[in-house]
Structure 1
């Protein structure tokens, strides 16, 4: 009777998860072809027959091993048998991206999710309790903080999409029992036996030892991850309150306000602000270096960079921003003032035309220093002074280009956003100049 209850509860769990998805929107199942995802798709198909909802399966073909084509064939057979549309995304895993093979494959997989799953839709992932236990151990061994120890969330928003793991509270043994009852077939990934991969080593060597001594080890580790999730939520709430108290601008944290917080709350706030901005959070060492510079002298221009992000201290604020890619191409650039503007710093939506009409032969150059513009009602002004008046940060000044006409500077443009900082008399710019 207890076993039958577990079987019924597993299907009921999927039915309940389906009820939580937006009506009329597609529910996707990430289908690898293994036990977990094959079972999830089967239970989802049964739930959608009782409670009609559009259901699609998504298989990501990594192309990392000869067996990959076999995974795809299995997924096609299963989806066909269940009457579920299957979409296959072929990806190229960047082995030299510095993320390791597992990390690079994950990046490629999530890029495939973003291409196929539309914002507002739900994607179900098939991780279970044993996976959560492994994730907790890996995070602990890497010295992760509370957020890392929290492991995989049951539900989270990602770029407007809902990612959910409805099986996360159940063990692999329960999934195996249900799959056997349903007579399911699945594909075992041969790389799952490769103990050179950290997760496999934990699964094949360490967890069996722990469970031999403590039979409920996986459940206990997953429970610890749940406690960490709760603690992380409280910490995030505290950081949100601190951010609001400091003005609410995640991109600029006032130094005076930061100085009034304890070092622990400073660290939490900077990480929280980075997440708000969609930036990677700084590793522990980089964050310590950054916070150590909060007491820098007022005229100092401290700069700390990590991954695709950077932090700069300027005019009493800690500025968090995305690192701009290096320029691609060379200066100067010829421009007619009307055509789409493609520069070494990226594309910009901007136009610049003479007030008297007609064609203009313009040239874009990087700043060299000493440029002056004749402004309407203000006369000749040094560009350096105009940039200071515009309160343009020093790092943004590096991307200011000067537009020349007939050997005379007529405008200054901030890239890559295409914002006019100054426009000389006799010229009209769009968007409207702020100078």
Structure 2
């Protein structure tokens, strides 16, 4: 038995040390070589070490007839090891990339299964890491992409962990032979129409034939790039700290940044800071589409520029950058009369409004700006609503959503705007909570 094979359990345990206090360890078990070895290693360690509860999850994609036998194989392996198995059937959406669609369906199942303080482990190894870096290099990825697969990241309410990233496929194969393990072979892994399979079967053998340490060296480069990405993330946090100071319209609940603080950075630091800020909010654009940021940044001061991204829009207004998605991109619908003014009024696609203090006499109605509205102010007489909104530098995208309180044709109040949202003599104020849902995270 090879010494590296003997050392595998201790190396795995060392890699998993930060998660020994997790509630559960769940293995993503495809039935293939990598996950079979990972499952066997953990089941063996559990006999001598105090580990969290072990279980496995098998995702059945239903993409090929041969795969119909895999759940039974996985069940037999788990039964022999005394590990419970959850089998999840998913539907893969047809599209341009079957690989990506299957991966999305698989990880959606993993996310649903991962609870608070759970760890879900996958079996990617060092060779996979090398192939990932090369694949992304050929697609023109930046530092973040070239840093490869992270050893751990958030997943659902817990964490995704890849504890085999410093272990080669050859070592896993040797362990499987030494322990007489059996696994399934996915026929699609031989299909060289898939880019990763082409790299694995056509390109990597040529590289390792000339440079035997190619897998190890490439994986090491990915580690260096992860460190570089970490430094870029730290720089982004420094640059975003000043830009993230609260602005005047924090009640909107929208993610926002001070525009001048971002625009004052070098071009590279602008892209770095914005990438860091946008990453949890939307799929990031490729290099060619960053021209949208330049157009937004360089637009005139009287403009209201918009940069449309995959999962929402970046707006520049009132001296800030604003991230809008979901209901903020839909036109709100008037809900009708407000009869029970002692209760909050829910507005379709626009949160809710409520009074503090006394409530004005009715009948009352919430409407939205159409243009031409006039409001009477005790100290200024009748004033155009447009002018009043301009004076307060209300962002353009907020103006069409601001709840306006009417009694008949009389505009009584504009929610949330000091001086316009209340009647001091009657002792009431109109409050607007723009959304009951979480803003931002996709």
Q: How high is the TM-score relative to the length of structure 2?
A: 0.82
Structure 1 stretch displaced more, 250-259 or 373-382 = 373-382
Q: Kindly indicate whether the alpha-carbon contact (under 8 Å) linking 1:133 and 1:218 is maintained by their aligned counterparts in 2.
A: yes
Task: Note the 1:146-165 alignment, pairs <5 A.
Answer: 146-158=143-155, 160-165=157-162
- Deviation for aligned residue 1:176: 1.0
Structure 1 stretch displaced more, 392-401 or 375-384 = 375-384
Question: What CA distance in whole angstroms lies between the structure 2 residues aligned with 1:158 and 1:404?
Answer: 47
5+ long unaligned stretches in structure 1: 415-420
Task: Note the 1:181-260 alignment, pairs <5 A.
Answer: 181-247=178-244, 251-260=255-264
Q: Kindly indicate whether the alpha-carbon contact (under 8 Å) linking 1:18 and 1:47 is maintained by their aligned counterparts in 2.
A: no
- Deviation for aligned residue 1:122: 1.4
Structure 1 stretch displaced more, 293-302 or 262-271 = 293-302
Question: What CA distance in whole angstroms lies between the structure 2 residues aligned with 1:72 and 1:334?
Answer: 57
Q: 2:399 aligns with which of 397, 400, 408?
A: 397
Q: Secondary structure at the match of 1:264?
A: helix
- Deviation for aligned residue 1:173: 1.3
Alpha-carbon deviations, 1:296-343, whole Å to 9, x = none? Answer: 3221222111111322222333x1414235549965656655587362
- Deviation for aligned residue 1:153: 1.1
Partner of 2:271: 267
Q: Provide the alpha-carbon RMSD of the alignment.
A: 3.5
Q: 1:116 aligns with which of 110, 113, 116?
A: 113
1:306 equivalent to 2:309? Answer: yes
Question: What CA distance in whole angstroms lies between the structure 1 residues aligned with 2:80 and 2:428?
Answer: 64
Partner of 1:290: 293
Structure 1 stretch displaced more, 402-411 or 150-159 = 402-411
Q: 2:12 aligns with which of 4, 8, 14?
A: 14
Question: What CA distance in whole angstroms lies between the structure 1 residues aligned with 2:11 and 2:363?
Answer: 68
- Deviation for aligned residue 1:232: 1.0
Question: What CA distance in whole angstroms lies between the structure 2 residues aligned with 1:37 and 1:71?
Answer: 13
Q: Secondary structure at the match of 1:143?
A: coil
Partner of 2:438: none
- Deviation for aligned residue 1:168: 0.7
Q: Kindly indicate whether the alpha-carbon contact (under 8 Å) linking 1:309 and 1:320 is maintained by their aligned counterparts in 2.
A: no
Structure 1 stretch displaced more, 36-45 or 392-401 = 392-401
Q: 1:31 aligns with which of 29, 32, 37?
A: 29
Aligned CA distance change for structure 1 residues 433 and 12 (closer, same or farther; 3 Å): closer
Paired residues in the alignment total: 421
Alpha-carbon deviations, 1:24-82, whole Å to 9, x = none? Answer: 51111111121111211121122223223211212222233333432222222222222
Question: What CA distance in whole angstroms lies between the structure 2 residues aligned with 1:339 and 1:256?
Answer: 37
Partner of 1:371: 373
- Deviation for aligned residue 1:120: 2.2
Q: Kindly indicate whether the alpha-carbon contact (under 8 Å) linking 1:33 and 1:74 is maintained by their aligned counterparts in 2.
A: yes
Q: How high is the TM-score relative to the length of structure 1?
A: 0.83
Aligned CA distance change for structure 1 residues 64 and 379 (closer, same or farther; 3 Å): farther
- Deviation for aligned residue 1:389: 5.7
Alpha-carbon deviations, 1:351-405, whole Å to 9, x = none? Answer: 46995699x7765544312234567998766543554466432122233354555
Q: Kindly indicate whether the alpha-carbon contact (under 8 Å) linking 1:332 and 1:364 is maintained by their aligned counterparts in 2.
A: yes
Question: What CA distance in whole angstroms lies between the structure 2 residues aligned with 1:94 and 1:186?
Answer: 27
Q: Secondary structure at the match of 1:321?
A: strand
Q: Secondary structure at the match of 2:308?
A: strand
Question: What CA distance in whole angstroms lies between the structure 1 residues aligned with 2:175 and 2:296?
Answer: 56
Q: Kindly indicate whether the alpha-carbon contact (under 8 Å) linking 1:376 and 1:424 is maintained by their aligned counterparts in 2.
A: no
- Deviation for aligned residue 1:193: 1.7
- Deviation for aligned residue 1:412: 5.0
5+ long unaligned stretches in structure 2: 247-253, 435-442
Q: Secondary structure at the match of 1:49?
A: coil
Task: Note the 1:99-114 alignment, pairs <5 A.
Answer: 100-114=97-111
Aligned CA distance change for structure 1 residues 398 and 13 (closer, same or farther; 3 Å): farther
Question: What CA distance in whole angstroms lies between the structure 2 residues aligned with 1:189 and 1:328?
Answer: 48
1:341 equivalent to 2:346? Answer: yes
Q: Secondary structure at the match of 1:196?
A: coil
Q: Secondary structure at the match of 1:156?
A: strand
Structure 1 stretch displaced more, 282-291 or 324-333 = 324-333
Q: Kindly indicate whether the alpha-carbon contact (under 8 Å) linking 1:119 and 1:161 is maintained by their aligned counterparts in 2.
A: yes
Q: Kindly indicate whether the alpha-carbon contact (under 8 Å) linking 1:121 and 1:162 is maintained by their aligned counterparts in 2.
A: yes
